[in-house]
A and B are shown apart, each in its own frame.
Chain A
Amino acid sequence: MRIRTKLEIGTLIVFVAALIIGLVLFFTSSRVNRATEEGKITLDIVQKASELGTLTFNHFNNLNERTELEWHSKNTMLAKMLASEFTGEQSQVIIRNLRQNQKELEPLFLKLNKIIKEENTTNHTSLSVNDPSQILVNNNLQLKLQNILNEAFKLTALSQSDISATERTASAFIFISIAVLGLFVTIGSFLVRKSIVEPIAQLDDGTKKVGQGNLHFQINISAEDEIGELAKAFNTMTLKLNGFYENLEDKVRQRSEEILEKNILFQSLVDNIPIGVALMKAPKGEILIMNQAGVKLLGRSLDLEDITKDQYTQKYTFQKEDGTSYPNQELPPSITLEQGEIVTKDDIVVCKPDESKISLRTTSAPVKNAQGRLASVVTIFEDITARKEIEKMKNQFLSFAAHQLRTPLGSIHWNLEMLLKGEMGKLLAPVEERLDQINQCNQRMIGFVNELLEVSLIQQGKWVDQALLTDIVPIIQDAVKGVELDTKSQNISITIIPTRFTIPKIIVDPKRFREVILNLLSNAIKYNRLNGKVTIEFKLLDKKLQIMVTDTGMGIPLNDQSKIFSEFFRAKNAILAETEGTGVGLFMIKSYIERWGGKIFLESEEGKYTTYYLEFQLP
């Protein structure tokens, strides 16, 4: 049965019960009322009977007309009272007796009245006890009155007991009604509890259990009402959920296994690659994990506890190649932790606990979390000791060779100079021409050797730089003038774009800065097209001065752009266009600029243009 129907039936039952109880109470109260009413009448009857007695006595003493009239009126009232309907059988018997007596009262009174009036006309006395007929009538009258009074008392008593009985019955009825109502309410609430509250509690309990993860739980409600339907739906849902869950668990298990498998693969990959890999936690740089190669390289046992405890800078000793200690803030992981950029350095020497030293090439890259914040830094490092050793030998050889080459080249130069000046006698024109050719070749050779030497010095870091706050404008203007001659053959124009701001001074070595500009201009002219343009622009960035040198030349192929600043590298199209050139110019420029704390990079499109961007921090 539906809850709604149940509630409707329940309400109906309570209503009917209340109605019955109401009716019973109503009838009970009307019985009480009637009994009370009857009681009142009996009391009146008693009063009237006694009044009649009194009036009779008064009248016969005084033979007063007024008392006679009053007596008749009271007697009539008594007759009316006796006409009232009394319910009880005993009462009706008494009433009959009373009526009988009352009927006989009237003639007795009249008879006595007549006798007394007759006597009065003769004796002028009032009541006389001597007349035997009078005495008889009087006695009868007295007797009847007495009877009426007695019967009235009896009726009163009866009425009183009737009232009490009725009241008792009424109390009993009220008590029973309340008890019945209470019973109904109890049964009703019991039914509500059984059919609504308990199932709801069961449902509640079930949801809690399922909520706690017991997906096997089923609610045991068989009722055919809404709660029953809800319970069925709930059970179906739980079953389905359980199905999903078990399916999900299977999937999770499967995935976990896959992940574990991949993890093992990944771990073996990380551990077996021959370069060190470490993950450091931002912002301080504690080592989170390091692969075996890394541990071996840095000379520490694979004791994670030991590795991860401190920041990496407290764990290892890093030096520069000249043996001085490496400033912590300049190490790649520190820079990445600070700036979030990828940094590579290959001039770091790590001192192992056994005091041996190895050179490292170290690259650090940021690892960002979902919010884009730096979470950690991944650092890879490889042993480049052997490479460094070879590099060192190469550089030593380079400077030795350069010095040794310069010596004969210099003396050839001077000998040729003397010859060409005619100091050894006048030369024949063809001889002079040949000697001049030899001299030019020799000069080229000297230039090349000088460049070699410069490169090796730069690579060994054995160069002294005199960087100071410099006004670069005159240097640039001077450099532009210096290359004027070279622009002629291809009719190339060089423009310095005027600025709205005063170009600030920057910290550079003036002599080398001139070389930088000369070199860039020389490239911009050499690899330009006929009637090409070269522009020099300045821009103020945030705390930086940017210088842009742009040409309208052949550009640099995309593949070569990353290598263009390497020593001895020349772009493919440049080699084709111009066989001369050693490919050290841009390497030197980059080295100089970086020494001054600046930056150089380029933007180029093959066949269209190349722009070199030079950036210098403002002091």
Chain B
Amino acid sequence: MFSFRRREPAQSLGTEYLDTLYRYALVLSRDRSMAEDLVQETYVRALEAQDRLYANSNVKGWLFTILRNLWFNELRRRRNQPQQVESEDGIQEVEMLPSASPTAHALLEQQESTSRVRAAIAQLPQEFQEVLLLREYEDLSYRDMAAVLKCPTGTVMSRLSRARMNLRSLLVKAEEEAFSLGQRR
């Protein structure tokens, strides 16, 4: 009854977004193995649907949307399964997400600042990390973010604003702690 018109030949999909998808998958899942599975499955789905792409498609936004849908399907699947208590050994630490505890005393000031920002971002709730990643690291517009996050652009804006506000508070707190630590030495 209703269909979109195919205008141009489909684009070919390459690995140019592999690293960026992996980063996003890590932010969502916080698990390297899960992130790898998510990225691989994203490519499987994307390749299957590749012929629906147009020459000027926003492939990046499309891939992010697929990956996020897969992650939420996985979460739904997990919720429907009996809960298991995971031993500490079973929890895989993600290298790219730094621990909240300050470990950068020996680094230079610039590195300390970067480290503090990374640590503060890691303390944010996942939904705030996600919007910051999409906006600041991936440069997606509000509209593209809304498509990926499946929410109105107004929600994107307010979530982004709250993420920044929380991050600012965490950074102020971290700087105060670093200052008082320096005073005690």
User: Do the two shown chains form a genuine complex with each other?
Assistant: no
